[in-house]
Structure 1
């Protein structure tokens, strides 16, 4: 006798998953392999998602952490997170063909950093220590030109040499709410501080966080599909918990804990900007094996942004 499945309402966020910068970065690797043949080397994970990285490996991509691991005579791609200026300079010195898959919205932050330093400003950079995007942005300007601000406490305690010649910039994948509080603290302390033109937190990060905020009050639990080293995915899981529902970050459907879902009748689902839609469908299909699932997509924004490919690959 078949066991009757308990009902489970899935509230699926839209937008979710891949953003334009991730789409572009993956396409750059694919086109480089088409144009040059395998192997094509990629410095750092192209995006923070094991499923995506493993898929590109099967097509001929080799992922390394340093340029020293790239042999002479093969093309190399720089990840979507951006790299310090020294990396392309070293590639050029070695005569390597390279393609920069840095998200254009991260490149915009790089340009703003250079401009602020040229104006004689010291930059207070809001971000997470050790994240590749932070390392890449710090590497755009002379050493000592930037100070990392990770928390509101950092913002309260930082003591720059010249409080009247400051700028602030942010990592693109931060919590919108937390970052706003840190910026408010800096602006209160340093009234002359100059901010970026528009927000540095990217549209995709903001949109995915807004979707979670809209759905969380309507559900009892929240699953975020993404990687633990993906900043934007981690922020989504934290945000759902902050909104009052229990939340978990999972990489794949096989990480779902059915005991954790005991008693849950409404479940929110979203995916970080580096998680493909196929993983969302995998999760839904997995849940349907154990529950009587109904799906509702909740749309809070529509995304139409796309980015151009680098010259040399746009015709590949």
Structure 2
């Protein structure tokens, strides 16, 4: 890129005192039309620069100029266009350009300084973007069921569909559901008799199921099959008199539902530090793992429980969900391989921010809630960039950020995801001394 970098300054028939123009494109006499993908970001940077200095009464506008900055406007033209452009490997031309009035000394000085700073940022970069679905498989299954139910209700009588609880914690409300009549409620008190009701992927407490059955509501059960299996285990362990240790993430919507399935026998454990208190029970102890918890976080808790309770029982690991683990590992892979990681989120409290910071090899992790949060200084020395897109990220922000980074030099962009899938386990050969009939003796299903 450096070999093709070109600076140019020309007169243009536009520009007024008190205003700085940031161009979305301009025309270079040799290279033709030059795209300025970073222009929206440069508007933010220029506005901040002027606000801090003597030009705080100046305004910054994003718009093209007549003629696109072509040479030939003549020496009498009022505007001065300062531009930088480069040619990418594919022959595409990128750059940026600012216009100030020739008699506006403050704006002209600010433009000159900004062009110098921004030109120093230009370099070829590689951007690694997390490729994570907003919904897990169970969440997508529930969304399809609710969507189909809403379409059927609209076609039949224009009625509404009630969802007990938001389908997936932290995920955006699916586009079009509100217009289709999908209504989120906290409990069945808000549901009219005879109305269709959907249960989300994380399920509902047993009391809600019982009430829906008593009222004979039309129910679509979108509970994830893995969640259903774990909830059934919790209820079964409690029914046989065990103390049920519920291992889960306090932020996940399925945890209170799972706890309700175990009833008074439940003892919630969030991390290894909670284990000693939970292990003091004299009763038999069984465990269940909330499907919303990352497996890597849950299994050390199981190990700690076994150290305290040698006769610990619990469900098989076949019912564990890998969605949270895959999400965490995807974020970790992107963050650990980047010199500078941007996390697109609603705010600092998003749990994916913590994952990115915990796994980063470099300390530079920045939370971006809007385009203006992209700062020039960290970009100056970074070649390998990471982009973590959380569930809470504002709509369209990913596209804005990628475009802005592409406007600061040739950008190679790659997506990365981690997807854990089952691997079949089969016996290597015949089993000696097998019981009569060829069956292999097994431990009870409840033990691991």
Please classify the TM superposition score into its range, dividing by the shorter chain length: 0.7 to 0.9
Contact 1:46 1:53 in 2 (8 A): no
Q: Normalising by the residue count of structure 2, what TM-score does the alignment of the two structures yield?
A: 0.58
Distance 1:78 1:225 in 2: 30
Q: CA deviation at 1:147?
A: 0.5
Distance 2:290 2:346 in 1: 18
Distance 1:109 1:226 in 2: 31
Corresponding position: 1:237 with 2:382: no
Distance 1:261 1:80 in 2: 43
Aligned residue among 222, 227, 235 for 1:106: 227
Query: Hey, what does 2:27 align to over in structure 1?
Result: none
Contact 2:171 2:392 in 1 (8 A): no
Q: Secondary structure at the match of 1:216?
A: helix
Q: CA deviation at 1:15?
A: 5.1
Query: Hey, what does 2:180 align to over in structure 1?
Result: 59
Distance 2:186 2:392 in 1: 21
Contact 1:14 1:208 in 2 (8 A): no
Distance 1:201 1:260 in 2: 43
Corresponding position: 1:187 with 2:306: yes
Q: Secondary structure at the match of 1:168?
A: strand
Corresponding position: 1:296 with 2:411: no
Q: CA deviation at 1:180?
A: 2.7
Q: Normalising by the residue count of structure 1, what TM-score does the alignment of the two structures yield?
A: 0.79
Runs of 5+ in structure 1 lacking a partner?
305-316
Distance 2:211 2:202 in 1: 18
The within-5 A match list for 1:1-316 is: 1=83, 2=96, 6=122, 7-14=124-131, 16-37=133-154, 38-49=159-170, 51-53=172-174, 55-129=176-250, 131-141=252-262, 143-162=263-282, 165-198=284-317, 201-224=320-343, 234=351, 236-244=352-360, 245=362, 246-247=364-365, 254=370, 257-259=373-375, 262-263=378-379, 264-271=382-389, 282-290=397-405, 291-292=408-409, 293-301=411-419
Q: How many residues were matched structurally?
A: 294
Q: CA deviation at 1:68?
A: 0.5
Residues 24-56 of structure 1 deviation map (CA, whole Å, 9 limit, x = unaligned)? 111111111111224111111112346334641
Moved more, 129-138 or 33-42: 129-138
Distance 1:260 1:189 in 2: 52
Contact 1:47 1:53 in 2 (8 A): no
Contact 1:83 1:139 in 2 (8 A): no
Q: CA deviation at 1:213?
A: 3.0
Structure 1 runs, 4 residues or longer, greater than 4 Å off: 223-228, 245-250
Q: CA deviation at 1:187?
A: 1.2
Residues 76-132 of structure 1 deviation map (CA, whole Å, 9 limit, x = unaligned)? 111211111110211121221111111122112112212322443211111244743
Q: CA deviation at 1:133?
A: 0.7
Q: Which has the larger radius of gyration?
A: 2
Change (3 A) 1:21 1:137: same
Query: Hey, what does 1:309 align to over in structure 2?
Result: none
Runs of 5+ in structure 2 lacking a partner?
1-82, 84-95, 98-118, 423-448
Moved more, 288-297 or 73-82: 288-297
Contact 1:41 1:74 in 2 (8 A): yes
Cα RMSD after superposing both structures = 3.3
Change (3 A) 1:259 1:127: same
Contact 1:11 1:295 in 2 (8 A): yes
Q: Secondary structure at the match of 1:59?
A: coil
Q: CA deviation at 1:237?
A: 3.1
Query: Hey, what does 1:307 align to over in structure 2?
Result: none
